[in-house]
A and B are shown apart, each in its own frame.
Chain A
């Protein structure tokens, strides 16, 4: 559904849009030089938009930080033409060769130092002359001149300041004024209530979005972050439903003929994932990664949230639209406010989740370690490959393993230790779906670690990670499945069997809360040992259960959200079984546990 069209934009000021549709094959054959004239804002006609997660830099992390020296003219004042161009030069010289090609101007380009907005006579955002004395087109041109793409930013809705008295004319829309595009009651919208909600049933509404799109396309921007979009951005309900805004933007961008990447922000509602997929090229799944503190980010606020919040979204990512985990601020330890281990884990998750990789660091001050993280081609390769994003294969416990099965039969495997102390983390091959031997390559350290039988265990620092490519040399795993709804199972408390279209057997066991318990009564294995039992479950939010075998006390596990109550996911947990018949129980304890579809018990232990 996303525009497959690739265009060369007309020169600035031309009202007639010349659209040159290219096939992908043709696009790749177009000499790059063809698009390099600064007089004609170039669109680098190459791959389709967001065929892979985009890479680059964004201004917001430095703008939002209280790190000394960044925002000397007041909050968010880092955003200036000079700073953007300085970062452009640094990106071009240090990171472009690794694929980082976006320079994204974030919020504030139309605000003065006091965050007061400026608009043109058509109620469109106008560059603040103090911040961008040369104007937005000139900046885009300078970015393009470095062979990079330019990104810009707008909030959803009609900003209150743009409304005027309602009589502000809409550009290129005969008879339309700002009063004609909003609701008569001037209801507000977006994550900050900073705009009037646009009523897209009114014919003038689309015209306003078109006018904004034409403006940024005319300047030559290649990327737009549309921010404060709901449902999401901390808001819900009709007033904050900006799906129509996003659809209008999608349409307006298509109307410009310029291939502009549309990114929606922030904390987008999972229930509307299909809309974001339909109209955008990426969606922020979470709140800002920045801490708004003395560094750019901090681990607890809120880098670490992503391990919990990403799994539900994993299935939604793919060519054309990606799960955006926000800025990757790992380039300078002191400024980032993170340990080395945290920075590596941050980059690891972003890469395996196939998030856009855009840093918010001061690229003129990358430290050696930061540069090594941002330029590790093996890790970038995970993000940019055609392989699927990884998802957790273990519960969301402090020690967790994420993996993706790649097209070539290898696995991308990440080990994480989210605890505040070093810990061993083990990836069991049976949790990946095979047994026997596998060779392991360490991507961060560029080392082949050798052959490993059944599993690999590594010591991870606090908040640390490892990233491997695992090549199976063994055999496929055989398992025995047990349905939760089977009549031989024992249900305790409120636990009950319920229908479930996505489940095997179209049934599951739910209502596992406050004493709810499900026991599989006859789980038979030939040999005593610890088995990685694969649990198929449904959970619209992250929930915990204690999994035990026989008379044991069991172990509590936190199950990542599957996104909604209609989607099944799996994770594997180690359960120690004796030879012969065993029971395996899921106990909610005093809390709430996920619904259980089935379990699969491997024929061989770990």
Chain B
């Protein structure tokens, strides 16, 4: 039981201890409790019949991660390659000298970039891929392990790669059955031209003062393992285990300049590698797998049965067959969602949150720095966390915002009113905080100011509270909400509409990434501020704070302008103008932000028909074929409109095999964004956003309301089951269905009290105490 704390237990613990203190990024940890439990029989497995190419690791390498330390594994039989990343290994800094246009510099030196920590190469020359047969590799999502196996001269060789959170190391184990031997070399290299390292470790520092280090230990059975010059040699080993640790002196503390000078990354890395190397690979694996399963097992999903023919195919062949035949493959589609969960567990625990690529890079020049994009991408990364039973993984996002807030506030106050900043408040005052479109982990912004970004972050943070009911979380985020309200209080302008009505509108702004740069009252900002003010009022009430200010914010909210439908286009307006001032099929759905993730616009009679129709028309005009994250967002919006077929088609679009950089899934299922000219790049948001869409088709929730199978597509209608799905209002739902109808729904309270459970014309109100559950059956049509 110790290794399997239930979700409820976890939340209770969190509530009891107050804020979930984010651990410092890289620090000495107590010896983990070792698990002796065998690995679970893997039920969710991706597999391939070829290894990755060294030059295509981002599309073919398999990801592992412990939330901070991650790697892509190539798994070539003759040459294991691990590209190792630390979430905190960022160049750049506070970046608080604005460019001549009053915006932020956005380079790898000033703003900074996520970079690789190390390359670990294990050469086994006798196992050249051309000389082995029956090669396969597997990503076991249940246990969190990458495995590869092959036959060489009658001996079956097997290897595992995993990133252990309890031991804080990446482990590569080479084993075999039947008299085989391993001979070769282990080489650890930095990626930043470090000097003075040894075969077993290196250290370095960046121009921004960040210090880092990495260390490796190799140990085997039979044969010999010894350090030899710049690498470790192993000869005639029956088995070999390689453990790697590494990290930085990053600390999530603005007051300390985001450093902890007491940390010695090299010494820590060496110590952790040494400590792990005192244990067998099997013990390391069991301990890791138990830790992983505690999260992975919180949720399960079945979308129906696939055919024997589909089950026989390896993952890449299956993805291609899904596209070529057009036939639904419900097990593949469910596994794709589970892959998103795997990435979340691997990429978002105890350290920084996932940015544009999570923990996985193939070089030191990731597009857009691998940063935190706050105009959709960061938020999308976390839409799935609560919905798909990984609430704990959300905490990295929360902690990040909390830890950055002092810098964001300071920067906003000092720089936002810069006379060169076209987005400055024309009323001349600034308060609270906001951010740039890009943010880094050092309090810095990049690219342009993004005034409404604060409100969107707050929307995500608040929604996590709605899912979990965690008062501790609410207390943590309250200063963010309040500061954002203060910012908008200073920014909103009063204007008079044609009908004489006086309303509040957002000052000059850019509807994300399209249209005029200086539009007042953009729908994106109006809706987000409307959401923000509402949530702040609720938060203040819940915490019994700031009653007066909350009342004032409530009055502002009542005066906010909300968008109308353009008589010209029939669409919900994006720019407070009847004209289409941008691209019709633009990737962003900014004006629909209150269809999803907000839910002011609902197809339940509460929303004026013209608004609902205008939103639907706009969504229709945006089209069905865009980048992965755009498809995921579109899918979520169609799910909210209860159009299961369109929502499903957009999910399927993201499962298309990417070829020559086209939009779709790479062979490792990383989502690829087409940059044109045959170049595609990995952007992780769709890997997280698409699973959120899958869940949103099965369950819609807001506090007090819980709708079963709102947008179930025909492909999944025959039968299915979801367990552990989060619902806003503080519930967790287990749901089974058959022939398109729920057969059983179990509602558990994780803090929620009362909600109405709806399917079709059936509506039942349930009232529970935290920890209680109720099972509902007999849903009429």
Interfacial residues, chain A to chain B (CB-CB below 8 A): 340-341, 344, 417, 420-424, 442, 444-445, 447, 449, 457-462, 464-466, 528-530, 548-555, 576, 605
Is B129 positioned at the interface, with any CB of A under 8 Å from its CB? yes
- A552-B135 in contact (CB<8A): no
- A421-B314 in contact (CB<8A): no
Q: Which residue of the partner chain B has the closest CB to A547?
A: B324
A530 contacts which chain B residues (CB < 8 A)?
309, 321
Given the known interface contacts A447-B153, A528-B309, A548-B324, the answer about A420 and B130 at a Cβ–Cβ threshold of 8 Å is no
- B53-A422 in contact (CB<8A): yes
Q: How far is the CB of A338 from chain B (nearest CB, A)?
A: 13
Q: How far is the CB of B564 from chain A (nearest CB, A)?
A: 40
New contact pairs (10) apart from A460-B129, A530-B321, A550-B325, CB-CB < 8 Å: A420-B56, A422-B53, A444-B131, A447-B133, A458-B133, A464-B129, A530-B309, A552-B327, A554-B324, A555-B320
Given the known interface contacts A420-B56, A421-B56, the answer about A576 and B129 at a Cβ–Cβ threshold of 8 Å is no
Is B100 positioned at the interface, with any CB of A under 8 Å from its CB? no
Q: How far is the CB of A80 from chain B (nearest CB, A)?
A: 37
- A555-B129 in contact (CB<8A): no
Tell me the interface secondary structure of chain B in the complex.
mixed
A447 contacts which chain B residues (CB < 8 A)?
133, 153
B134 contacts which chain A residues (CB < 8 A)?
458
- A553-B130 in contact (CB<8A): no
Q: How far is the CB of A454 from chain B (nearest CB, A)?
A: 11
A528 contacts which chain B residues (CB < 8 A)?
307, 309
A549 contacts which chain B residues (CB < 8 A)?
325
> In the docked arrangement, what's the CA distance between A422 and B136, Å?
12
Given the known interface contacts A461-B130, A576-B321, the answer about A424 and B326 at a Cβ–Cβ threshold of 8 Å is no
> In the docked arrangement, what's the CA distance between A308 and B387, Å?
51
Chain B 150-190 near chain A by CB (<8 Å), digits 1 or 0: 10010000000000000000000000000000000000000
> In the docked arrangement, what's the CA distance between A464 and B60, Å?
17
Q: Which residue of the partner chain B has the closest CB to A417?
A: B50
> In the docked arrangement, what's the CA distance between A26 and B629, Å?
78
Q: How far is the CB of B409 from chain A (nearest CB, A)?
A: 47
A466 contacts which chain B residues (CB < 8 A)?
130
- B133-A442 in contact (CB<8A): yes
Choose one: B52, B131, B326; the contact of A422 (CB below 8 Å): B52
A421 contacts which chain B residues (CB < 8 A)?
50, 52-53, 55-56, 59-60
Given the known interface contacts A444-B130, A447-B153, the answer about A458 and B53 at a Cβ–Cβ threshold of 8 Å is no
25 A-B residue pairs with Cβ-Cβ distance under 8 Å, sorted by A, are: A420-B53, A420-B56, A421-B50, A421-B52, A421-B55, A421-B56, A421-B60, A422-B51, A422-B52, A422-B76, A424-B49, A447-B133, A457-B49, A458-B49, A458-B135, A459-B50, A460-B50, A461-B130, A550-B326, A552-B326, A553-B325, A555-B320, A576-B309, A576-B324, A576-B325
> In the docked arrangement, what's the CA distance between A605 and B309, Å?
10
Choose one: B76, B153, B323; the contact of A553 (CB below 8 Å): B323
Q: How many residues of B contact A (CB 8 A)?
A: 35
- B53-A424 in contact (CB<8A): no
> In the docked arrangement, what's the CA distance between A424 and B323, Å?
18
A552 contacts which chain B residues (CB < 8 A)?
324-327
Choose one: A341, A423, A442, A551; the contact of B326 (CB below 8 Å): A551
> In the docked arrangement, what's the CA distance between A423 and B137, Å?
12
> In the docked arrangement, what's the CA distance between A548 and B326, Å?
10
- A529-B309 in contact (CB<8A): yes
> In the docked arrangement, what's the CA distance between A422 and B131, Å?
14
A422 contacts which chain B residues (CB < 8 A)?
50-53, 60, 76, 129
Is B368 positioned at the interface, with any CB of A under 8 Å from its CB? no
Interfacial residues, chain B to chain A (CB-CB below 8 A): 48-53, 55-56, 59-60, 76-77, 128-136, 150, 153, 307, 309, 314, 316-317, 320-321, 323-327
A465 contacts which chain B residues (CB < 8 A)?
130
Q: Which residue of the partner chain B has the closest CB to A578?
A: B327
**Which 6 residue pairs of A and B lie closest in terms of their CB atoms, listed nearest first?**
A424-B49, A421-B53, A459-B135, A459-B50, A552-B325, A422-B50
> In the docked arrangement, what's the CA distance between A302 and B620, Å?
49
Q: Which residue of the partner chain A has the closest CB to B56?
A: A421
> In the docked arrangement, what's the CA distance between A530 and B324, Å?
12
Given the known interface contacts A458-B135, A551-B326, A553-B324, the answer about A464 and B130 at a Cβ–Cβ threshold of 8 Å is yes
Of the candidates A344, A422, A466, A528, the one having the most CB atoms from chain B within 10 angstroms of its own CB is: A422
Given the known interface contacts A458-B133, A555-B320, the answer about A420 and B55 at a Cβ–Cβ threshold of 8 Å is yes
A458 contacts which chain B residues (CB < 8 A)?
49, 133-135
Q: Which residue of the partner chain A has the closest CB to B51?
A: A422
Q: Which residue of the partner chain B has the closest CB to A465?
A: B130
Q: How far is the CB of A339 from chain B (nearest CB, A)?
A: 10
Q: How far is the CB of B314 from chain A (nearest CB, A)?
A: 7
B317 contacts which chain A residues (CB < 8 A)?
424
Q: How far is the CB of B683 from chain A (nearest CB, A)?
A: 20
Q: How far is the CB of B696 from chain A (nearest CB, A)?
A: 26
- B326-A553 in contact (CB<8A): yes
A462 contacts which chain B residues (CB < 8 A)?
53
B135 contacts which chain A residues (CB < 8 A)?
458-459
Q: Which residue of the partner chain A has the closest CB to B326?
A: A552
A551 contacts which chain B residues (CB < 8 A)?
326
Q: How far is the CB of A536 from chain B (nearest CB, A)?
A: 22
- B49-A459 in contact (CB<8A): yes
- A445-B131 in contact (CB<8A): yes
B52 contacts which chain A residues (CB < 8 A)?
421-422
Q: Which residue of the partner chain A has the closest CB to B74?
A: A422
Q: Which residue of the partner chain A has the closest CB to B76?
A: A422
Q: How far is the CB of B524 from chain A (nearest CB, A)?
A: 35
> In the docked arrangement, what's the CA distance between A458 and B130, Å?
9
A340 contacts which chain B residues (CB < 8 A)?
128, 130
> In the docked arrangement, what's the CA distance between A553 and B321, Å?
10
- B309-A555 in contact (CB<8A): no
B316 contacts which chain A residues (CB < 8 A)?
424
B326 contacts which chain A residues (CB < 8 A)?
550-553
> In the docked arrangement, what's the CA distance between A576 and B51, Å?
26
> In the docked arrangement, what's the CA distance between A206 and B309, Å?
67
A548 contacts which chain B residues (CB < 8 A)?
324
Q: Which residue of the partner chain B has the closest CB to A449?
A: B133
Q: How far is the CB of B340 from chain A (nearest CB, A)?
A: 24
Of the candidates A420, A457, A529, the one having the most CB atoms from chain B within 10 angstroms of its own CB is: A457
> In the docked arrangement, what's the CA distance between A465 and B130, Å?
7
> In the docked arrangement, what's the CA distance between A553 and B317, Å?
15
B49 contacts which chain A residues (CB < 8 A)?
424, 457-459
Of the candidates B77, B128, B131, B133, the one having the most CB atoms from chain A within 10 angstroms of its own CB is: B133
B150 contacts which chain A residues (CB < 8 A)?
459
Of the candidates B150, B153, B317, B320, the one having the most CB atoms from chain A within 10 angstroms of its own CB is: B317
> In the docked arrangement, what's the CA distance between A528 and B309, Å?
8
B51 contacts which chain A residues (CB < 8 A)?
422, 459
B309 contacts which chain A residues (CB < 8 A)?
528-530, 576, 605
- B131-A424 in contact (CB<8A): no
> In the docked arrangement, what's the CA distance between A442 and B323, Å?
34
Q: How far is the CB of A344 from chain B (nearest CB, A)?
A: 6
> In the docked arrangement, what's the CA distance between A529 and B309, Å?
6
Q: Which residue of the partner chain A has the closest CB to B129?
A: A461
Q: How far is the CB of B308 from chain A (nearest CB, A)?
A: 9
> In the docked arrangement, what's the CA distance between A452 and B163, Å?
36
B323 contacts which chain A residues (CB < 8 A)?
553
Choose one: B50, B59, B153; the contact of A423 (CB below 8 Å): B50
B76 contacts which chain A residues (CB < 8 A)?
422, 461
A457 contacts which chain B residues (CB < 8 A)?
49
> In the docked arrangement, what's the CA distance between A444 and B131, Å?
8
- B324-A341 in contact (CB<8A): no
Q: Which residue of the partner chain B has the closest CB to A466?
A: B130
B129 contacts which chain A residues (CB < 8 A)?
341, 422, 459-461, 464
> In the docked arrangement, what's the CA distance between A449 and B309, Å?
25
Q: Which residue of the partner chain A has the closest CB to B316?
A: A424
Of the candidates A344, A457, A459, the one having the most CB atoms from chain B within 10 angstroms of its own CB is: A459
> In the docked arrangement, what's the CA distance between A341 and B316, Å?
22
A420 contacts which chain B residues (CB < 8 A)?
53, 55-56
> In the docked arrangement, what's the CA distance between A282 and B691, Å?
60
